[in-house]
Amino acid sequence: MNKTFTILKREYLSRVRKKSFIVMTLLGPLLMASLMIVPVYIAQVSDSVYDIAIVDDTRLFYTEFTDANNVRFIDLNVDIDLAIELLKEEKFDAVLHIPTTAFHAPSTLRLFSQKAINMNAKLYVESILKNEFESMKLAHAGIDAEILRATETKISIQAIRLLRDGHEQTDYPEVSMALGLFSGILIYFFVFLFGSQVMRGVMEEKTNRIVEIIVSSVKPFQLMMGKILGIALVGLTQFSIWIILTFAIITTVQAAMPETFRFTPPEQVYTAGSQALNPAELQERMQQVQQHNTAAGQVMESLSAINLPVMILSFIFYFLGGYLLYAALFAAIGAAVDNEADTQQFMLPITIPMVFSIIMAQMVMNNPFGPVAWWLSIIPFTSPIIMMVRIPFGVPVLDILISASVLIAGFLATTWIAARIYRTGILMYGKKVSYKEIWKWLRFSS
């Protein structure tokens, strides 16, 4: 055990002292925090106004265009040829031409621009024209457009999760899907990143013949476990620092920019307004609150609905479990081959379950409590990713216990298999290894 700890300590310290580890450990939280903060900041300060000149030959629509969504309209009472000349002089960003045939042939509408068309502006113009064309067609048919507009109702259903203690909690399925997918991809990335480090470390020592000196005083199993656990602690150290620094950065930005993260939960409006028993006033109050809510505030509020401590602890466990399971196999591959080119044939069976998990993540998010999701979160080769996809949706404790137990058993099984390959392969040189050869190594008696 002392020898395993010595190897573990060497592997750990040799990696955490590297400049690359320090740089990525500090940059990681900044990158993760910037995923939420930078888009909000850019949306506030960098949006420029997109000027669209309108040449309306019909003189029926130009009054209907109102400035909004960073789009400004300019009415030009000139012909289209002159408007295009002004466009070439960069007087505005685009020219919308509505010919006299537009009502009967909407396909004759044109939006001219010297640069790529602003997609948001194009969609906004299309929505305005769509409404106006529909109103004109209804009027032509003798139908009052205002009556139809009065029947239009925007539906936005608030999802409420009933907790076991009887309380209600606002649920954000979209955030659960995004967080689950992000966690699963992060597990995939970390397992292969640190697992490949184990494989390369073993191959390097084998190629340099250093391993011959090491195994003279250390058992192959102790050497393998020391490497695996040492690199596991490196990943755990880096992840822990990332979590602490990310929360610190986000909390500091929230305190410094409270208006940017302003948000009032809908349930507070309903609770306070329900006493008045006036649906019209309740609707008006809800609209006022929604106008003052910010996108960043909604994101932070939706994240608060997720049980982050459970997410973090689950991530740590499934990262360690998945890493230990796959790292043992990576170590076995490193011991079996002499160069990295020979690893490809053995990497495929290891890679397929992880890639399959990422592919199936979409199906699991659509039905996180279905039989497919349940089995994939139990099978140890897919559970690290699939269970992390399911956890934001609220997985039963029994499912987690079963999954964790099977994952631990899977790690022990793969470690036993890897150890039998490792002890023989680590001292084999200059021979192309096949699956048949590896099967013989597995059958060797201790």
Please state whether beta strands 160-162 and 168-170 pair in parallel, antiparallel, or not at all (unpaired). antiparallel
Residue ranges of the chain whose pLDDT lies below 70? 1-2, 32-48, 69, 144-173, 207-217, 220, 254, 257-306, 338-342, 426-431, 434, 444-446
Rounded CA separation 359/348 (Å): 16
Rounded CA separation 227/422 (Å): 12
Q: Look at residue 128 in the predicted model and tell me its pLDDT.
A: 84
Q: Which helix (H) or strand (E) holds 161?
A: strand 160-162
Rounded CA separation 206/336 (Å): 10
Burial letters 221-251, b for 16+ CB under 10 A, else e: bbbbbbbbbbbbbbbbebbeebbebbeebbe
The full set of domain ranges for the chain reads 2-36+172-259+294-443, 50-151
The per-residue DSSP string of 235-273 comes to HHHHHHHHHHHHHHHHHHHHHH-TTTT----HHHHHHHH
Report, in angstroms and rounded to the nearest whole number, the Rg of the chain calculated over CA atoms. Answer: 31
Q: Coil, helix or strand for 66?
A: coil
Q: Look at residue 46 in the predicted model and tell me its pLDDT.
A: 47
Distances (CA, A) of 375 to 187, 301, 362, 382, 406: 18, 32, 15, 9, 11
Q: Look at residue 281 in the predicted model and tell me its pLDDT.
A: 59
Dihedral sign, Cα of residue 61, residue 66, residue 67, residue 71: negative
Q: Look at residue 277 in the predicted model and tell me its pLDDT.
A: 45
CATH topology of domain 50-151: D-Maltodextrin-Binding Protein; domain 2 (3.40.190)
Task: Kindly list the strands in the beta sheet with 94-98, ordered across the sheet, starting from the edge strand earlier in the chain.
Answer: 71-75, 50-56, 94-98, 110-112
Give the residue among 108, 140, 145, 129 at the shortest CA–CA distance from 64.
129
DSSP class of residue 107 equals G
Q: Is the pTM of this model over 0.95?
A: no
Burial letters 307-328, b for 16+ CB under 10 A, else e: eeeebeebbebbbbbbbbbbbb
